[in-house]
Amino acid sequence: MCGIFGVTNNSDASRLCYLGLFALQHRGQESAGIVSLNEGALQVEKGRGLVSEVFSEKNFSALQGKQAIGHVRYSTAGGALDANIQPLYARVAGETIALAHNGNIVNADSLRQTLEQSGAIFQGTADTEILLHLLARSRKNQFVDRLVDALIPLEGAVTLVVLTKTEMHAYVDPCGYRPLVIGKLRGEGEEFSWIFASETSALDLVGADFVRDVNPGELVSVDLVSQRLRSTALPMQSHQSNTGEESRCVFEHIYFARPDSTLWGQNASLVRQELGQELARCHPAPADLVIAIPDSGTPLAMGYSQASGIPFATGLIRNHYVGRTFIEPTQTVRNFRVRLKLNPVKEIVRGKRLVVVDDSIVRGTTSRKIIELLREAGAAQVHMRIGSPPVKFPCFYGIDTPKRKELIAQKMSLVEMCDALHADSLGFLPQEALVRVVEKHGFNGTRNQGKKGFCMSCFDGTYQDSGAQILGNPEGVPT
């Protein structure tokens, strides 16, 4: 998963980009980068680490200009090589361009193979580099037409911002897996800047007004001189979706997006509360307290408490200052990895029958350790309630999930999972209830009539495109 940001027509473009990336830091902590456009030339600063680690005051003297794009990365394709740190930039048909990508191109392996066989040389291993080669191979004269040519063969999740000498482009694939919003930042008099961001929380931080989502299959282009914005609709290609349905990632709502972000017309925190309410109705529990596994479980637990009437309490505390590396103790300290992040409040949980609410269970190892910690702290009972259906299949659209055989829900029945986690009871939100909540408020006008709105592939294994079907099939044959 990654976060992308773009800003036009602002003398503080790179600093605004930096702020935007701060707001999107939860979408990727592995690397960060900004490319600005100054007098027709691209300036690049990027590196490994958090936004606060990569950028300091001295970087901004090398990031002049009124247009900039930025990226925070968590690699799910291609690994953590320096050459994969985005934004990527290249000279394509005489024009220097930079691009930042969120998502995974699921037919990247076959496209890369074809390109390499015809002489293409890749610098890194990220799927995004394929797009640069496809751009270079288009025979069209106008850049925007080259971009359309390059986008059409891609399958999977492709959300982009692209910066050229004359335009900034923003694109969301026809399935609409990842969010991208357009904002407007007012300046002096008639002046204004366009902002593109993965989430509205980034618009809020820079003080921009939300204008609208970039629609699935839409390429939005801004002329950097006039600031005129135009929209091009790309057709859904048959290979991009077998069903022709839109497929927004439902996990953006359940867990990934910041709770203060509005996704496709709905606030993520309110959706999570409603999912928690549904969870309480579907899976009641005899309990004294509802507690959350923070942070993403908190709105779900609040919703569970509201619908069940069981009081909500802060029974687990998250340490927000755990770095990405730490020294392991030489002696065995039980559960230290989980304890490093989460610690029970003994005085709250002791002797209590708890409903413990989390967003999902993947391998089950962390959930089991949390239950163990709560029992050690004196909890009388632990009833696990999960705000999503069981995750039985891997994601190939930019979310880091393990292989199918490592997913606990793939290997075990509900009863077996409950036993393995040492829980007193276990309940998952049914898929119908999830659909009911996320589709309730519509899609802020972005949904094509009569089409399904959300991806549920990690629950039901029905991948939209042949590339993901091949990846998801152990025999390597489309299902």
Active-site residue list: 2
Residue whose C-beta lies closest to ligand SF4: 395
Q: Per CB under 6 A, which of residues 288..347 are in contact with ligand SF4?
A: none
How many residues of this chain interact with ligand SF4, rule: CB under 6 A?
Answer: 11
Q: Does 105 bind ligand SF4 (CB under 6 A)?
A: no
Helix (H) or strand (E) holding 291: strand 289-292
Helix (H) or strand (E) holding 158: none
**Site for ligand SF4 (CB under 6 A): which residue of 43, 457, 466, 469?**
457
Smallest gap from residue 454 Cβ to ligand SF4 (A) = 7
Amino acid (one-letter) located at 112: R
* CB-nearer residue toward ligand SF4: 364 or 378: 364
Tokens matching residue 405: 């055989």
* CA gap 86, 1 in Å, rounded: 13
- Pairing status of strand 381-386 against strand 425-428: parallel
Q: Per CB under 6 A, which of residues 106..145 are in contact with ligand SF4?
A: none
Say how many C-beta atoms besides its own lie within 10 A of residue 57's C-beta: 6
**Site for ligand SF4 (CB under 6 A): which residue of 89, 196, 397, 443?**
397
* CB-nearer residue toward ligand SF4: 167 or 252: 252
* CA gap 358, 123 in Å, rounded: 40
Give a three-class secondary structure readout of 243-254.
CCCCCEEHHHHH
For every residue of 235-277, DSSP letters joined together read PPPTTT-SS----EEHHIIIIIS-TT-EETTEEHHHHHHHHHH
For ligand SF4, which stretch binds (CB under 6 A), given 55-63, 235-243, 276-284, 453-461? Answer: 453-461
Give a three-class secondary structure readout of 312-329.
ECCCEEECCCCCCCCCCC
Residues 6+ apart with CB under 8 A from 325: none
* CB-nearer residue toward ligand SF4: 171 or 256: 256
Torsion sign over Cα 406, 408, 409, 415: positive
Smallest gap from residue 388 Cβ to ligand SF4 (A) = 9
* CB-nearer residue toward ligand SF4: 97 or 249: 249
Of 6, 82, 80, 5, residue with least CA distance to 46: 82
* CB-nearer residue toward ligand SF4: 275 or 287: 275
Binding mask 244-263 for ligand SF4 (x = CB under 6 A): -----xxx------------
Say how many C-beta atoms besides its own lie within 10 A of residue 11's C-beta: 12
Q: Tell me the CA distances in angstroms from 9 to 32, 88, 182, 187, 304, one per residue in order.
A: 22, 21, 14, 10, 45
Q: Does 458 bind ligand SF4 (CB under 6 A)?
A: yes
Tokens matching residue 414: 């509900």
Q: What's the length of the chain? A: 479
**Site for ligand SF4 (CB under 6 A): which residue of 455, 466, 467, 472?**
455
* CB-nearer residue toward ligand SF4: 89 or 251: 251
For ligand SF4, which stretch binds (CB under 6 A), given 10-18, 49-57, 216-224, 393-401? Answer: 393-401
Q: Is residue 138 helix, strand or coil?
A: coil
For ligand SF4, which stretch binds (CB under 6 A), given 28-36, 225-233, 301-309, 449-457? Answer: 449-457
Smallest gap from residue 397 Cβ to ligand SF4 (A) = 4
Smallest gap from residue 155 Cβ to ligand SF4 (A) = 13
* CB-nearer residue toward ligand SF4: 33 or 453: 453
Smallest gap from residue 243 Cβ to ligand SF4 (A) = 14
Q: Per CB under 6 A, which of residues 156..185 are in contact with ligand SF4?
A: 177
Residues of this chain that bind ligand SF4 (CB under 6 A): 177, 249-251, 395, 397, 399, 455-458
